[in-house]
Structure 1
Amino acid sequence: MRWLLTFVIALVGGFAGAAVWSYAGFGDEATRTYLMANPEVLPKAMEELNRRQQSVRIGSLRAELELPFPGAVLGNPEGKVTVVEFSDYACGYCRMSVADVKRLVKENPDLRVVMREYPILRPESVDAARMALAAAEQGKYAAFHDAMYAIGTPDAKTIAEAAKRAGLDMDKARAAIGSGKFDPFLQSNHQLASQIGISGTPGWVIGDQVIDGAVGHEALASAIAEARQS
């Protein structure tokens, strides 16, 4: 089936019509007959091609993806298996996934969850993301993360309440936020998300896979098991 993958690459590269058929000797009748009789192979081949291309993109960015903002890690900071989560505190699906991540961390003592703040849903999401990084600086990221999702939609009042519950030194947090030091990290998260094809939240990178949405514990656990074997 090597010719089929080449055919799909030609499609992706922008070849069309007779140019495709003439590419790499595709003009033979047997090839045309096979494709007409088995058109379902084309979507499958495209899916495989996209998977391989995605794997290459992740591989080229893995070191950057898996390097967290200091302290913005759940689970075992020295864990051998890494999950990267792109999240937004205004995202209801991210809130739904909190319990899944807690369960996965409990089940996998060597699991390291690198949190990437990806505030895209509302202006207050940015404020919450900045406070989360201020909490990470103070060694209280998990406490703020849990409190913020427990309280609900971020706004000035709920962010302050989550910070209070997490026990943050608010003077230090406000000073750090006011310095603008967290903004380059948030911008980098947006760039990484764009490069690997994440456009919404939650978005996950596990092994060579990008997974979109609140897919649930079982799907995430399966991806983690696959990553262990690779």
Structure 2
Amino acid sequence: MRLVLALLAALAVAPTAFAADPAPAATPAEKAKIEAVVRDYLLQHPEVLVEAIQKLEAKEEAERNDKAASAITAKKDELYNDAMAPVAGNPKGDVTVVEFFDYNCPYCKAGAPILKKAAAADGKVRIIYKEFPILSPESELASRAALAANLQGKYLPFHEAVLEHKGKLDLPTLVTIAKATGVDAERMKTDMNKAEIDTAIKKNKALARSLEVRGTPAYLIGNTMVGGQIDVEEFAAKIADARKKSAS
């Protein structure tokens, strides 16, 4: 679909010789001739497609950011003041990074130490974790266990250990991780089924929909949504940009 849209955009910027005055519908032979001319033009000028794709992506990103900005304003309390959402980094930081993640997402696993490093290097970043289990039933099991660990004040060590784990995240594995990170495993198993944890996960999923989060990881940095894994330098740049915008 992206390529089709790019082709349409390319046709829009093609020389006017390709445009026709309003006239009866072209015959199949005429259509074939026009398509051949357009194809030849695009093969000779592939940069037109690159430019069209870049413009399309910029337009889509701008539209997403506009929608996200409205949702951020409407959902401000749920984003930043939810008592069930674990917090890391500097609790009094002047820039907040909200992360939507899934424990079975390889990009979330790879991105976790990058975000941690970027926040530590800055020193004034608050991180809010939004459990967003969308990849498998095991993902939800892990999120329930993590939120149960949070009720014991042991979220961060458990969270990091689960992200570092390679392999299945079934209940016996989560119990083993709990014991290794100082979490009361029996209490965790009981708390995993609490109504407040049900509610927290449902709220996170609804919040993600309102922000048009379609995958993991997704980061809200200031008022900008960023999807996918990013490096330390990009985190630093976006954090600095968010700080600058909040100060202006």
Matched, 1:152 2:166: yes
Residue identity opposite 2:217 in structure 1: P
**2:154 aligned to 129, 140, 149, which one?**
140
Partners in 1 of 2:82 and 2:158 — Cα distance? Answer: 17
Distance of aligned partners of 1:195 and 1:167 in 2 relative to their CA distance in 1, 3 Å threshold: same
Distance of aligned partners of 1:74 and 1:46 in 2 relative to their CA distance in 1, 3 Å threshold: closer
Q: Does the aligned pair in 2 maintain the 1:85–1:113 contact within 8 Å? A: yes
| Corresponding residue for residue 99 of structure 1 | 113
Give me the CA root mean square deviation.
Answer: 2.2
| Corresponding residue for residue 198 of structure 2 | 183
Instruction: Report the TM-score, using the length of structure 2 for normalisation.
Output: 0.71
Distance of aligned partners of 1:131 and 1:78 in 2 relative to their CA distance in 1, 3 Å threshold: same
Q: Which moved more, 1:61-70 or 1:93-102?
A: 61-70
Partners in 2 of 1:119 and 1:162 — Cα distance? Answer: 18
Percentage of matched positions with identical amino acids: 33
Residue identity opposite 1:161 in structure 2: T
| Corresponding residue for residue 12 of structure 1 | none
Correspondences of 1:57-96 after superposition (within 5 Å): 57-70=71-84, 72-96=86-110
**2:127 aligned to 113, 118, 128, which one?**
113
| Corresponding residue for residue 19 of structure 1 | none
| Corresponding residue for residue 10 of structure 2 | none
**2:187 aligned to 159, 172, 194, which one?**
172
Deviation at 1:117, TM superposition (A): 0.3
**1:196 aligned to 211, 222, 234, which one?**
211
Partners in 2 of 1:84 and 1:148 — Cα distance? Answer: 19
Structure with higher Rg: it is 2
The C-alpha deviation readout for 1:183-213, integer Å capped at 9, x for no partner, is 1000000000000110111011111111111
Unmatched runs of 5 consecutive residues or more in structure 2: 1-50
| Corresponding residue for residue 8 of structure 1 | none
| Corresponding residue for residue 131 of structure 1 | 145
Partners in 1 of 2:198 and 2:88 — Cα distance? Answer: 21
The C-alpha deviation readout for 1:102-159, integer Å capped at 9, x for no partner, is 2012112221100000001110111110111111111111100111112224222321
Residue identity opposite 2:236 in structure 1: A
Deviation at 1:64, TM superposition (A): 1.4
Deviation at 1:42, TM superposition (A): 7.6
Distance of aligned partners of 1:47 and 1:122 in 2 relative to their CA distance in 1, 3 Å threshold: closer
Distance of aligned partners of 1:122 and 1:69 in 2 relative to their CA distance in 1, 3 Å threshold: farther
Deviation at 1:52, TM superposition (A): 2.7
| Corresponding residue for residue 51 of structure 1 | 65
**1:221 aligned to 224, 233, 236, which one?**
236
Unmatched runs of 5 consecutive residues or more in structure 1: 1-38
